[in-house]
């Protein structure tokens, strides 16, 4: 039987349109982003791909090249929506470490100039960065000698990157707070300055007041949720940064648990846990600082919450990968908007030395509904 040409072409066109609609629906229902932390420009890696004393710029560039290889085919045509880096861009300027200015310039070469990640529509992926304790200490000073004594370049660089319309010539940590939020496909992303202390929680309350209680919220910060005392303002004397007290004054909140930097952070953590209990749509906390891959539950000092937490490796200071470079990792996070399932996969980006190939490591699923 001879097929009518008009019928044939009409059928083919309908199938093509249907296929394109289905593909578009898939792309609209998935978020993909990459997550890493503690890139520490200024450090050298003892051993990397057969060489000794390899500078961070070379190691971080190798990681960025592997990130670029995560093609659309490997991600079912969805591309990469964003790359998230949670701080310690520049290493602290102690013991001959290069200036934060030099480190920030190297960061731009690697994670901006050499970043070729694309979204599903072919546009450039977003780059979302928050500061770490090394970045802040470089800007405000530290209780051990640094050279120079202060260099706010990475703090100013992050600030300008995330707030391009608010260019400043000098950095003031009390005025130029690096916290912001973004919305993608019905998920609310909150990026914090170092730790969700009392000052950050005031800002978060304001940010969340127009967010529906059914909207899943993800938090990103440098610090671990069981924060260290040294992050807080010095409760002693002049409340300054000094070699005797060793508080680093990284966040605005005064330390409440005592006077000793070696104490606990029970009060501070309980207040954060109360905030999480109040905002049950905060589903996952992403952080760096301790430098290994772990997917776990943070329950707070009183065991009152169950906050999904994702800790990531560092390309320069990985607690596990420093002993086995094949364990170097970053995270691929995928969110299915329809099901509310967040899947995080460990990408072992140096599993095959001297190549851009990678291997999959551990994996976990979290329900955002």
Residue 162 located in a structural domain = yes
The pLDDT of residue 1? 47
Q: What is the CATH number of the domain that holds 355?
A: 3.60.21.10
Handedness of CA 177, 189, 199, 99 (dihedral sign): negative
The mean pLDDT value for 328-351 works out to 97
What is the H or E stretch that residue 125 is in?
none
Which of 6-20, 80-94, 217-231, 238-252 is predicted with the least confidence, judged by mean pLDDT? 6-20
The mean pLDDT value for 277-285 works out to 97
Residue 97 located in a structural domain = yes
The pLDDT of residue 24? 42
Residue 9 located in a structural domain = no
Residue with tokens 């916290």: 179
Residue 260 located in a structural domain = yes
Q: Is the pLDDT of residue 18 over 50?
A: no
The pLDDT of residue 74? 66
Q: Is the pLDDT of residue 131 over 60?
A: yes
Handedness of CA 164, 81, 155, 94 (dihedral sign): negative
Q: How far apart are CA 324 and CA 331, in angstroms?
A: 18
Higher pLDDT, 11 or 196: 196
Token pair of 314, please?
């560092």
Residue 294 located in a structural domain = yes
Q: Is the pLDDT of residue 77 over 80?
A: no
pLDDT tens readout for residues 146-184: 999 999 999 999 999 999 999 899 999 989 999 999 999
The pLDDT of residue 23? 41
Beta carbons of 74 and 358 less than 8 angstroms apart: no
Q: Is the pLDDT of residue 5 over 80?
A: no
Beta carbons of 194 and 221 less than 8 angstroms apart: yes
High-pLDDT (> 70) share of the chain, %: 91
CA max distance for the chain: 96
For 88, which DSSP code? Answer: -
Q: Is the pLDDT of residue 19 over 60?
A: no
Residue 329 located in a structural domain = yes
Q: Is the pLDDT of residue 115 over 80?
A: yes
Residue 7 located in a structural domain = no
- pTM score: 0.91
For 318, which DSSP code? Answer: -
The pLDDT of residue 15? 42
Query: Measured between alpha carbons, how far is residue 304 from residues 56, 277, 299, 307 in Å?
Result: 40, 8, 6, 10
H-state helical runs in the chain: 5-28, 56-68, 100-108, 133-140, 153-162, 198-208, 266-278
Q: Is the pLDDT of residue 199 over 90?
A: yes
Chain mean pLDDT for the chain: 92
The pLDDT of residue 71? 63
Query: Measured between alpha carbons, how far is residue 120 from residues 27, 30, 64, 97, 117 in Å?
Result: 7, 10, 19, 40, 10
Higher pLDDT, 291 or 9: 291
CB 7: neighbour CB atoms within 10 A?
9
Distance of CA 278 to the CA centre of its chain: 24
| Radius of gyration for the alpha carbons in the chain, expressed in angstroms and rounded | 22
Give the structural domain span for 336: 29-367
For the chain, what is the domain count? 1
The mean pLDDT value for 40-67 works out to 97
> What confidence tier does 21 reach under pLDDT thresholds 50, 70, 90?
very low
Residue 61 located in a structural domain = yes
Token pair of 167, please?
């260019």
Token pair of 297, please?
């539950």
The mean pLDDT value for 206-229 works out to 97
Q: How far apart are CA 319 and CA 342, in angstroms?
A: 26
pLDDT tens readout for residues 226-266: 999 999 999 999 999 999 999 999 999 999 999 999 999 99
């Amino acid at each position: 039987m001879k097929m009518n040409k008009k019928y044939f072409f009409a059928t083919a066109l309908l199938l093509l349109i249907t296929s394109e609609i289905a593909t578009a629906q898939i792309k609209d229902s998935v978020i993909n982003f990459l997550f890493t932390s503690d890139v520490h420009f200024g450090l050298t890696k003892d051993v990397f791909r057969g060489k000794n004393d390899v500078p961070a710029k070379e190691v971080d560039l190798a990681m960025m090249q592997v990130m670029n290889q995560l093609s659309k085919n490997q991600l079912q045509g969805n591309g990469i929506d964003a790359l998230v880096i949670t701080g310690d861009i520049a290493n602290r300027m102690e013991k001959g470490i290069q200036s934060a200015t030099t480190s920030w310039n190297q960061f731009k070469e690697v994670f901006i100039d050499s970043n070729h990640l694309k979204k599903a529509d072919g546009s450039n992926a977003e780059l979302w960065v928050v500061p770490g304790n090394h970045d802040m200490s470089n800007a405000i000073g530290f209780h051990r000698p640094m050279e120079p004594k202060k260099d706010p370049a990475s703090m100013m660089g992050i600030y300008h990157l995330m707030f391009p319309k608010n260019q400043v010539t000098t950095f003031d940590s009390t005025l130029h707070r690096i916290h912001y939020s973004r919305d993608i496909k019905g998920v609310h992303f909150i990026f914090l300055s170092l730790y969700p202390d009392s000052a950050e929680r005031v800002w978060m309350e304001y940010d969340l007041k127009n967010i529906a209680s059914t909207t899943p919220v993800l938090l990103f910060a440098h610090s671990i949720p069981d924060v260290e005392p040294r992050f807080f303002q010095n409760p002693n004397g002049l409340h300054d940064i000094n070699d005797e007290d060793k508080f680093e004054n990284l966040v605005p909140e005064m330390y409440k648990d005592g006077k000793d930097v070696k104490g606990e952070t029970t009060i501070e953590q309980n207040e954060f846990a109360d905030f999480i209990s109040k905002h049950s749509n905060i589903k996952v906390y992403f952080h760096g600082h301790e430098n290994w891959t772990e997917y776990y539950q943070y329950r707070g000092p009183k065991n009152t919450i169950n906050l999904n937490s994702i800790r990531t490796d560092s390309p320069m200071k990985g607690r596990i990968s420093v002993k086995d470079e094949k364990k170097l990792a970053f995270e691929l996070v995928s969110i299915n908007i329809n099901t509310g399932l967040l899947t995080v996969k460990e990408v072992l980006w140096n599993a095959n030395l001297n190549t851009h190939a990678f291997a999959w490591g551990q994996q976990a699923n979290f329900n955002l509904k």
